[in-house]
């Protein structure tokens, strides 16, 4: 079976999931078995087929499983959003169309050689940093500066900035990785990079810290800095650089924790979610995280079933706040149980596996680093939000890629997927030749 036929075949399960999911939601809500769910399934299939045809024409050798895995995540997202609010699902479907348009545009523009991105690295880096600073013009949401209102659309620049920063770092490290290794000194059993080249590393660390300080969001800065460390490790093969980086990040985060009240309240809510005083607190309390844990526990092994999770009762404050964005993972766990939640994580795990495999196959350093960086950032984003929702780390508001409601997230992640497929197409063609 050729790569593209494999991909076509793998799209069938995603379509079945959409149909079954919508049917179950219909039954639960209106107690009727309607053929409308088939219509939704058909529309979803048509969208996937359109993207599949684009890939068939432009990137015939690209990895066959990446797109179907993403389609499965998208079907999860659509079903869950439809179950929460019909209007949100409709908007999300429109965002998928926009995302697929960007996906196609990125592939067509870079189809000849994605390495032209290297030429614009400083422009891309500058754009990324400006994007990150943009939300400072607005007002904070829950104490963090993450979104920016662009007319009627609320826009999360961190999503696009992560692409810009990975592209820049991949291209920068391609040039400097040897300099970091040569002249490195061993001291007390740890390899330190040469002092004069420590500058750029410290600059990235400083940027991550500044980011933490400016947008006051631990999750995004952890995501960016973690992506950077993954790239440094792959570029230099020195685990010591990663350990030094993590140590610096921990120190910086500890220092900021002492100064910024927002971060402090997040950490308190994480450590003591069931403390009555924190639970009752109006702003910056632990209500969200405690409720998220309750609804996940409610899910059990196989879940309550589609449409059965209690998210809102009457006009009271929601039982599970922000269910369509930050806490969509908790809704999935509630309705499909441990089995469903593990399946979602497995889908991400397989995407990450395909991403790293693409990086292993790529022959030139820039492509290798680009694929590694994109995959690492995606994995860290999932870790940050799922870790937050399950109370493994302090909760911060990043989206669950391809599932959460949100236009900028969908668009940015589809561009990320396009870049991975571009690298994969070239690498697999060269490997087969």
Partner 1 sequence: MLEPVSVGLKFAFLAVLYLFLLWISRSAFNDLRRGAFGGPRAPVAADATGMHPASSLDVLDGDGSFSPRLVVESVPGLSRGMAYDVAEGATLGRGDVEIQLEDPFASSRHARLTRQGAILVIEDLGSTNGTYLNDELLRGPRPLHAGDRVRIGDSTFTFDG
**Interface residue list for partner 1 (CB under 8 A):** 10, 13-14, 16-17, 20-21, 23-24, 27-28, 31-33, 65, 68-69, 72, 174-179, 181-182, 233-235, 237, 302-303, 305-307, 336, 339-340, 343, 346-347, 350, 353-354, 357, 360-361, 363-365, 368, 431-432
Shortest Å distance, C-beta 12 to partner 1: 9
Shortest Å distance, C-beta 400 to partner 1: 16
Q: Cα dist. 45→8, 42, 410 in Å?
A: 10, 5, 18
Q: Which two tokens stand for residue 151?
A: 């007319």
Between 376 and 395, name the residue whose CB sits nearer to partner 1: 376
Q: Which helix (H) or strand (E) holds 155?
A: strand 153-155
- What SS3 class is residue 174? helix
Shortest Å distance, C-beta 53 to partner 1: 21
Between 55 and 161, name the residue whose CB sits nearer to partner 1: 55
Q: What is the rounded distance in angstroms from the CA atom of residue 50 to the CA atom of residue 327?
A: 30
Q: What is the rounded distance in angstroms from the CA atom of residue 63 to the CA atom of residue 354?
A: 8
Q: Which two tokens stand for residue 384?
A: 């940050």
Q: Which two tokens stand for residue 196?
A: 């004069």
Between 52 and 368, name the residue whose CB sits nearer to partner 1: 368
Shortest Å distance, C-beta 404 to partner 1: 19
Q: Which residues contact 30 (CB under 8 A, 6 or more apart)?
A: none
Q: What is the rounded distance in angstroms from the CA atom of residue 346 to the CA atom of residue 340?
A: 10
Shortest Å distance, C-beta 425 to partner 1: 14
Between 59 and 412, name the residue whose CB sits nearer to partner 1: 59
Angle, vertex CA 333, rays to CA 331 and CA 339, nearest 5: 150
Shortest Å distance, C-beta 361 to partner 1: 5
Q: What is the rounded distance in angstroms from the CA atom of residue 348 to the CA atom of residue 382?
A: 8
Shortest Å distance, C-beta 428 to partner 1: 9
Between 205 and 348, name the residue whose CB sits nearer to partner 1: 348
Q: Which helix (H) or strand (E) holds 419?
A: helix 407-432
| Residue from 10, 22, 7 nearest 75 by CA | 22
Between 242 and 322, name the residue whose CB sits nearer to partner 1: 242
Q: What is the rounded distance in angstroms from the CA atom of residue 220 to the CA atom of residue 398?
A: 7
Q: What is the rounded distance in angstroms from the CA atom of residue 418 to the CA atom of residue 103?
A: 6
Between 154 and 308, name the residue whose CB sits nearer to partner 1: 308
Count the neighbouring beta carbons within 10 Å of the beta carbon of residue 375. Answer: 24
Shortest Å distance, C-beta 92 to partner 1: 19
Between 72 and 215, name the residue whose CB sits nearer to partner 1: 72
Q: What is the dihedral of CA 351, 353, 359, 360, to 10 degrees?
A: -160
């Amino acid at each position: 079976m050729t790569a593209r036929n494999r991909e076509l075949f793998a799209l069938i399960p995603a379509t079945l999931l959409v149909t079954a999911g919508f049917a179950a939601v219909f039954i639960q809500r209106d107690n009727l078995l309607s053929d409308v769910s088939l219509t939704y399934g058909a529309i979803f299939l048509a969208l996937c087929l359109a993207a599949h045809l684009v890939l068939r024409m432009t990137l015939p050798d690209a990895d066959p499983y990446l797109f179907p895995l993403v389609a499965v995540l998208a079907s999860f997202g659509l079903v869950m959003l439809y179950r929460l609010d019909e209007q949100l699902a409709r908007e999300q479907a429109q965002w998928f169309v926009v995302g697929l348009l960007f996906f196609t545009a990125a592939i067509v523009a870079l189809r000849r050689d994605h390495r032209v991105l290297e030429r614009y690295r400083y422009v891309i880096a500058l754009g990324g940093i400006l994007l990150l600073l943009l939300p400072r013009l607005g007002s904070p949401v829950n104490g963090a500066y993450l979104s920016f209102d662009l007319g009627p659309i609320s826009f999360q620049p961190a999503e696009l900035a992560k692409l810009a920063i990975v592209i820049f770092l991949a291209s920068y490290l391609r040039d400097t990785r040897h300099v970091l290794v040569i002249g490195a000194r061993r001291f007390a059993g740890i390899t330190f990079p040469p002092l004069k080249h420590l500058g750029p590393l410290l600059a990235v660390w400083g940027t991550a810290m500044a980011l933490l300080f400016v947008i006051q969001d631990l999750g995004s800065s952890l995501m960016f800095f973690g992506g950077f460390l993954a790239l440094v490790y792959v570029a230099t093969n020195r685990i010591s650089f990663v350990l030094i980086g993590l140590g610096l990040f921990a120190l910086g985060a500890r220092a900021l924790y002492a100064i910024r009240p927002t971060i402090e309240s997040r950490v308190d809510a994480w450590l003591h979610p069931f403390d009555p005083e924190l639970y009752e607190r109006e702003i910056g309390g632990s209500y969200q995280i405690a409720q998220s844990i309750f609804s996940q526990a409610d899910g059990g092994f196989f879940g309550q079933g589609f449409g059965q999770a209690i998210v809102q009762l009457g006009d009271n404050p929601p039982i599970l706040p922000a269910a369509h964005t930050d806490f969509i993972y908790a809704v999935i766990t509630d309705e499909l149980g441990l089995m469903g939640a593990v399946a979602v994580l497995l889908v991400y795990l397989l995407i990450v596996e395909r991403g790293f495999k693409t990086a292993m196959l790529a022959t030139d350093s820039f492509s290798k680093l680009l694929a590694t960086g994109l995959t690492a950032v995606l994995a860290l984003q999932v870790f940050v939000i799922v870790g937050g929702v399950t109370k493994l780390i302090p909760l911060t508001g990043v989206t669950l890629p391809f599932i959460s409601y949100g236009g900028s997230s969908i668009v940015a992640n589809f561009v990320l997927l396009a870049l991975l497929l571009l690298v994969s197409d070239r690498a697999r063609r060269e490997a087969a030749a």
